[in-house]
A and B are shown apart, each in its own frame.
Chain A
Amino acid sequence: SQTIHQWPATLVQPVGSPLSLECTVEGTSNPNLYWYRQAAGRGLQLLFYSVGIGQISSEVPQNLSASRPQDRQFILSSKKLLLSDSGFYLCAWSRTSYAGELFFGEGSRLTVL
């Protein structure tokens, strides 16, 4: 069966510090991968998605970047965090041929102080 894990679960960082959130998927190959941010328990804002190694599409220009160094690994980064980067970050995957169904990780709560 397929599994997805993201870490760390909780992160408290000062303004201006770097960020790295990691996500890995097991049990499938060549998945589509996504990073979302969720504010205040509401809807999901798509940040990045990837359809293959090294292929990253950004939906919202901002202080964040993403990379996909391996087929089942997706990393969200920032060189200098802003207060507005605080939020709940979710990694998700979908099957290559069917983007409709997403399977989410446990989420990472980021607080920037």
Chain B
Amino acid sequence: TQLLEQSPQFLSIQEGENLTVYCNSSSVFSSLQWYRQEPGEGPVLLVTVVTGGEVKKLKRLTFQFGDARKDSSLHITAAQPGDTGLYLCAGARGGSYIPTFGRGTSLIVHP
């Protein structure tokens, strides 16, 4: 079973629309990261959330960590074609060197 479940798996939207991507687990994480990956490149770290209920904003991207530190969401406002990519969430549990990755949400924003 996948420790971190991401939904939706695929998302195809028009420029200017809003969207939310979810990352859910039954486990508690000491921190959770979001990455964006473009085809043929390595994932790039967008944000880390640590505190339950924490909200972080990165321009049009808003990240939220659940109160119980078991889930997270990524909201994009007024999506642009440059937002196209694979969005991955990953969580680290206390004392582990190994982050666990979700399977990703593939986003396509059409101009």
Which residues in A have some Cβ–Cβ distance to B below 8 Å?
32, 41-44, 46, 49, 51, 59, 88, 90, 92, 94, 98-107, 109
Contact = CB atoms under 8 A, between A and B. Distances in A.
Interface residues of B, number: 28
Given A100-B92, A101-B45, A41 B39 contact: yes
A104 B42 contact: yes
Interface of B: 30-33, 35, 37, 39-45, 48, 86, 88, 90-92, 96-99, 101-104, 106
B93 to A, nearest CB: 10
B70 to A, nearest CB: 15
A101 B92 CA distance: 9
Nearest to B101: A44
A102 B39 CA distance: 18
21 contacts: A32-B97, A41-B37, A41-B106, A42-B86, A42-B103, A42-B104, A43-B104, A46-B98, A49-B98, A51-B97, A99-B99, A100-B31, A100-B33, A100-B90, A100-B91, A101-B31, A101-B33, A101-B45, A101-B48, A103-B45, A107-B42
